[in-house]
């Protein structure tokens, strides 16, 4: 059997398997350098699709050559569909195959949602494929051509949350204008339900990719894009993501991309509540304070149980930065400086003293902190480290006329005390790694 004939047989077996089971949810390669028996290398078991490795080169070279022969207008759409889907399953970065699939979608030879399903299957094998996520964004814009990129604003978020999420208890659709029948309203509600389903599918696809590849920048960037352009910062979706992302981050403590996503959610939730601190408006200040307090307690628990992980400490830096910019009324920056200080800067900062409120295990100077005694119990309890900083003791201080400088100084003092307490209670086996994180955090605090 020639390679061309064998390749056609492989392509046919793969296409039949994909059509036979519409519930396929995973694709992978089966290590088999040589064919061991006279049977198809395409394996389908319990909604899992696999292909033996000896056949990958034969099949991919064939389908790629066929795609390069495609004319601008080809009548054989089914063959192009089979070749292009085989190409992207084997090599997710094949631009030619994805572009041909775009053409097939525009010709309505294949459905946009069917191509989204294929892209999800591709991500189970190639979770960091940038071209796959780019294809998903193109398909979403094709499905919802009226959804344009929205600017981050409280009005846009509130409007989208009302019109696209009718399950909200506060949703009250207005009657159709000009005496139109109720079919218009049914179509609008159907479109909203379809959007909810699509958004849910995109979030699940991003979770699958993030679970399969650590620090998956492409997956988290796509997730942010979905919230910005499809959900348009709708408060219900963002709040749901805020809750669900906490469990994911807890299980992936070294994945900074997950923490970065929570930082995006914090900023989006802030914009949903008005964006800035307005005098005499308790709700905005209290809500932002609640976000900061929740995240500081969350990071304190993670630091206690998982000492020495820089991603947690860098996330805590952002939370403090978030609160400082909120108090000063400056625009909330998306990044913070993490560059190391010079030797002269560190020497000046060493002279800053910090009141000792953490007991005998902590001291009030940088040098004494390095020789502080450790907690006797290596498996320390979380409540040994203060999780609620003193500067968040009550929302009432927002309306007591305190100066911003006093609030900022209180933040720095409280956080340095927290760092000293953490350093003092670190188990012996994690002392060096935790100390590096603590000292870097203290240097950053004193440079603010």
Which residues make Cβ contacts (< 8 Å) with residue 78, sequence separation at least 6? 109
Tokens found for residue 334: 């998306």
Give me the pLDDT at residue 390, please.
62
Per the structure block, which two tokens stand in for 448? 């603010």
Q: Is the separation of the CB atoms in 72 and 99 below 8 Å?
A: no
Q: How far apart are CA 233 and CA 235, in angstroms?
A: 6
Q: Which residues have a Cβ under 8 Å from the Cβ of 444 and sit 6 or more positions away?
A: 317, 338
pLDDT (tens digit, 9 = 90+) per residue, 152-197?
Answer: 333 333 333 333 333 333 323 333 334 444 333 434 445 567 889 9
Read off the tokens for 422. Answer: 């953490």
What DSSP line would sit under 78-115, residue for residue? Answer: HHHHHHHHHHHHH-TT-HHHHHHHHHHHHTTSS-HHHH
Q: Spell out the long-range contacts of 362-370 with Cβ–Cβ below 8 A and sequence spacing 24 or more.
A: 362/417, 362/420, 362/421, 362/423, 362/424, 363/420, 366/439, 366/442, 369/420, 369/423, 369/424, 370/435
pLDDT digits (tens, 9 = 90+) for 198-249: 999 999 999 999 999 999 999 999 999 999 999 887 788 999 999 999 999 9
Residues 221, 222, 225: CA angle, nearest 5 degrees: 90
- Closest by CA to 84, choosing from 70, 202, 208, 25, is 70
Q: Which residue has the tokens 């020497």?
A: 347
Q: Please list the residues that pair with 26 across neighbouring strands.
A: 48
The token duo for 61 is 């070279």
Burial class (CB in 10 A: 0-12, 13-18, 19+), 55: buried
| Nearest C-alpha neighbor of 231 from the set 208, 257, 259, 199 | 199
The helix/strand/coil state of 54 is: helix
Residues 30/52, Cβ–Cβ less than 8 Å? yes
Answer yes or no: are the C-beta atoms of 428 and 378 closer than 8 Å.
yes
What does the alpha-carbon distance between residue 172 and residue 154 come to, in Å, rounded to a whole number? 19
pLDDT (tens, 9 = 90+) of the chain, 448 residues, equals 567 899 999 999 999 999 999 999 999 999 998 888 878 999 999 999 999 999 999 999 999 999 998 875 667 889 999 999 999 999 999 999 999 999 999 999 999 999 999 999 999 999 999 999 999 999 999 999 876 644 433 333 333 333 333 333 332 333 333 444 433 343 444 556 788 999 999 999 999 999 999 999 999 999 999 999 998 877 889 999 999 999 999 999 999 999 999 999 999 988 776 544 333 344 556 677 888 889 999 999 999 899 999 999 999 999 999 988 888 875 544 444 444 434 333 332 333 333 333 333 332 322 333 333 333 333 333 345 556 566 664 444 444 446 778 888 888 889 999 998 888 888 776 788 899 999 999 999 988 8
Query: What's the confidence (pLDDT) of residue 383?
Result: 41
Question: Closest Cα to residue 418, out of 336, 354, 367, 360?
Answer: 354
Tokens of 217: 């920048």
H helices of 352-430, in order, are 366-369, 404-424
Say if residues 325 and 332 touch (Cβ distance below 8 Å): yes
Q: What six digits make up the tokens of 47?
A: 């909604």
Q: Token pair of 274, please?
A: 């008005």
């Amino acid at each position: 059997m020639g390679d061309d004939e064998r390749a056609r047989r492989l392509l046919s077996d793969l296409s039949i398997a994909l059509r036979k089971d519409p519930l396929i949810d995973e694709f992978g390669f089966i290590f088999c350098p040589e064919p061991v028996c006279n049977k198809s290398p395409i394996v389908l078991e319990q909604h899992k699709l696999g292909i033996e490795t000896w056949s990958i080169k034969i099949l991919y070279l064939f389908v790629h050559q066929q795609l390069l022969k495609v004319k601008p207008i080809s009548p054989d759409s089914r063959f192009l569909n089979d070749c292009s889907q085989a190409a992207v399953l084997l090599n997710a970065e094949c631009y030619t195959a994805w572009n041909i699939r775009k053409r097939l979608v525009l010709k309505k030879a294949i459905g946009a949602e069917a191509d989204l399903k294929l892209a999800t299957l591709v991500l189970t094998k190639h979770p960091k494929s940038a071209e796959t996520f780019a294809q998903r964004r193109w398909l979403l814009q094709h499905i919802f051509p009226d959804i344009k990129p929205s600017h981050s604003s409280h009005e846009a978020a509130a409007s989208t949350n009302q019109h696209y999420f009718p399950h909200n208890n506060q949703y009250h659709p207005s009657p159709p204008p000009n005496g139109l029948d109720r079919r218009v309203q049914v179509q609008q509600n159907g479109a909203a339900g379809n959007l909810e389903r699509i958004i849910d599918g995109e979030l699940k696809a991003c979770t699958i990719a993030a679970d399969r590849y650590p620090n998956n920048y492409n997956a988290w960037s796509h997730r942010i894009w979905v919230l910005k352009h499809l959900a348009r910062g709708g408060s219900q979706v963002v709040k749901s993501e805020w809750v669900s992302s906490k469990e994911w981050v807890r299980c992936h403590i070294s994945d900074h991309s997950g923490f970065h996503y929570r930082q995006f959610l914090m900023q989006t939730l802030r914009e949903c509540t008005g964006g800035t601190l307005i005098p005499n408006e308790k709700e905005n200040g209290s809500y932002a304070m609640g976000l900061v307090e929740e995240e500081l307690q969350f990071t304190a628990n993670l630091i206690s149980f998982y000492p020495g992980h820089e991603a947690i400490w860098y996330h805590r830096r952002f939370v403090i930065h978030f609160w400082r910019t909120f108090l000063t009324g400056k625009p909330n920056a998306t990044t913070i400086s993490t560059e190391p200080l010079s030797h002269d800067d560190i020497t000046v900062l060493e002279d800053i003293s910090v009141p000792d409120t953490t007991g005998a295990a902590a001291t009030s100077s940088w040098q004494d902190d390095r020789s502080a005694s450790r907690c006797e119990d290596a498996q320390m309890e979380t409540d040994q480290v203060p999780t609620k900083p003193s500067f968040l003791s009550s929302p009432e201080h927002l309306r007591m006329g305190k100066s911003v400088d006093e609030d900022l100084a209180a933040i720095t003092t409280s956080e340095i005390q927290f760092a000293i307490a953490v350093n003092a209670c670190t188990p012996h086996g994690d002392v060096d790694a935790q100390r590096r994180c603590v000292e870097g955090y203290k240097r950053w605090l004193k440079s603010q």
